[in-house]
Amino acid sequence: MENREKTTEQLKEDLRKTREELAIQKWGIEKTLEGMKVLVKELIQKGEEAEKAKAQDEALLASIGDGVIAIDMDGRIILMNKAAQTMLGWHPAELLDKSFFETIPIEDEKGKPVPLEQQPISRALVGTTTTGHSYYYIRKDKTKFPAAMVATPVIIDKKIVGAIEVFRDITKEKEIDKVKTEFVSIASHQLRTPLIGIQWLAELLKKEKLTDKGQEYLNDIRISIQRLNKLVELLLNVSRLEEGKIEISPQSIDVVNFIKKIVDSLAILNSKKRLSLTFTADEPKIMALTDVGALQNIAQTILPNATEYTPEGGKIEVKIKKHGRMFLLTVSDTGIGIPKKDQGRMFQEFARASNAGRIKAAGMGLGLWIAKQATELLGGKIWFESQENRGTTFFVELPLKSKSIDGTKKLV
């Protein structure tokens, strides 16, 4: 009944309001639809990009020559690339979701299984990036191969969620290394025979009647022979150290006397360079149970080094101190020092400081490496402090009683 009483004006107003409302709703729907189109388009794009990225990652993974394995926090294998498959002889389908530690055994060089906590990938799971070079993987068919591995944790939002390991079959590298070491060993052997010949002939020559000049030349020949001998011994020691199995048989010696003898042998060279040398020991005699060959290799590197790398008029201080169960040999010089950038690698094989060439044109860079190996075999520590152009101090700390080690070769 009320409706009929509405005027035309009122009805027109109602209509207008309804139309307005409809227009607003229509606008609303249009805007919403437009918005949704935008969002959907973006979603599709993101999906495609993700697909593409995923495909790229897979292609990358497949093309990497190194093996890649990823495990989750429980040690289950979640990813294994083609290279890993091939190297290990498994199919990923066989391994996905299985425990890495149960299915892929790792052994050390002696054939003993490597304990879980020491395996690179487990250490990565607890947050340490690790490398391992002397481990062997056991294939599905139970054969094994040496591998170089690097494992890192996978961190998302500051939490470790798994670990990834990249590894490489280094059978070839190990072969090459072995051949190299054997070669050095054989070469040093071969070099010895003619060296002995020259030495003996020089010895016989001495007995013959020679002119004064002749005698002088003969002496020079003998000095050259000594140098050659030293180099050959150096190479020999390197190859023996690389092969491992060095025997350490400690003998009781007076280290003060031992070092003093070496210092004295450098006296001529030192006086030629006008180097002042002081030798102090806090006790006149210090008895130690140590391997003579090893101690020789240490002292015969750092003492001559001080002389060689200190320019004329410089100073060398040699000190021997006993403390506790150890004795400390200190050799300081005012020589050319070792530049900071080289300090980190001085104990590596073939390492020479960048400024070494200034004072000694050629050197093999083996002395410190051998000295370090020998020090460690005796159970000691070797380190240095140095400032370029100011000087260097070498510290060798050795036990008064070195343990004997079984081996097949001794250091010469």
Partner 1 sequence: MTKKILLVDDRENVRVTLRDIFEGEGYTVVATTTGEEALDIIDKEKPDLVLLDTELDTVVPKSINGFEVCRQIKQVRKLSIKVIIYTGTLGMIDAVKARRMGADDYIIKGEDPAVLVKAVKKLIGDAKYGK
Partner 2 sequence: MNKTKIVLVEDDEILAKVLHEELVEAAFEVALAEDGEAGLTAVRKNMPNLVLLDLVLPKKHGFEVLAELKKAPETRDIPVIILTVLGADEDIKKGLELGANDYIVKSQHAVAEIVEKVKDFFAKESHPEGKKPKVGDKS
List contacts with partner 1 (CB under 8 A): 24-25, 27-32, 34-36, 38-39, 41-42
| Among partner 2, partner 1, none, partner that 236 touches (CB below 5 to 8 angstroms by kind) | partner 2
Task: Tell me the DSSP string of 267-320.
Answer: HHHHHHTT-EEEEEESSS--EEEE-HHHHHHHHHHHHHHHHHTS-TT-EEEEEE
Q: Which helix (H) or strand (E) holds 173?
A: helix 171-207
| Among partner 1, partner 2, none, partner that 200 touches (CB below 5 to 8 angstroms by kind) | partner 2
Across 119-264, the runs of DSSP E, i.e. the strands, are 130-138, 144-156, 159-169, 251-254
State which of positions 371-410 bind partner 2 (CB under 8 A): 408-410
The encoded tokens of residue 294 equal 């090893």
Sign of dihedral through CA atoms 239, 242, 247, 249? positive
Between 31 and 178, name the residue whose CB sits nearer to partner 1: 31
State which of positions 201-240 bind partner 2 (CB under 8 A): 201, 203-204, 236
Q: Is-contact 298 395, C-beta < 8 A?
A: no
Burial classification of residue 202, based on how many CB atoms lie within 10 Å of its CB (0-12 exposed, 13-18 middle, 19 or more buried): middle
| Among partner 2, partner 1, none, partner that 179 touches (CB below 5 to 8 angstroms by kind) | none
The encoded tokens of residue 244 equal 């491992």
The encoded tokens of residue 354 equal 């960048």
Separation between Cα atoms, residue 144 and residue 108, nearest integer Å: 11
The encoded tokens of residue 190 equal 């071969």
Between 26 and 206, name the residue whose CB sits nearer to partner 2: 206
Q: Which helix (H) or strand (E) holds 76?
A: none
CB of 52 to partner 1, least distance (A): 17
| Among partner 2, partner 1, none, partner that 404 touches (CB below 5 to 8 angstroms by kind) | none
Q: Is-contact 234 185, C-beta < 8 A?
A: no
Separation between Cα atoms, residue 298 and residue 184, nearest integer Å: 21
Specify the amino acid at residue 216: E
| Among partner 2, partner 1, none, partner that 381 touches (CB below 5 to 8 angstroms by kind) | none
Between 31 and 245, name the residue whose CB sits nearer to partner 1: 31
CB of 45 to partner 1, least distance (A): 9
CB of 47 to partner 1, least distance (A): 14
One residue of 27, 183, 200, 350 binding partner 2 per CB under 8 A: 200
CB of 204 to partner 2, least distance (A): 7
CB of 250 to partner 2, least distance (A): 16
Between 29 and 55, name the residue whose CB sits nearer to partner 1: 29
Separation between Cα atoms, residue 308 and residue 141, nearest integer Å: 57
Between 30 and 216, name the residue whose CB sits nearer to partner 1: 30
The encoded tokens of residue 252 equal 């009781």
| Among partner 1, partner 2, none, partner that 128 touches (CB below 5 to 8 angstroms by kind) | none
Q: Counting contacts by CB under 8 A, is residue 195 touching partner 2?
A: yes
CB of 46 to partner 1, least distance (A): 9
| Among partner 2, partner 1, none, partner that 41 touches (CB below 5 to 8 angstroms by kind) | partner 1
CB of 27 to partner 1, least distance (A): 5
Specify the amino acid at residue 276: S
List residues binding partner 2 (CB under 8 A).
189, 192-197, 199-201, 203-204, 236, 247, 408-410, 412
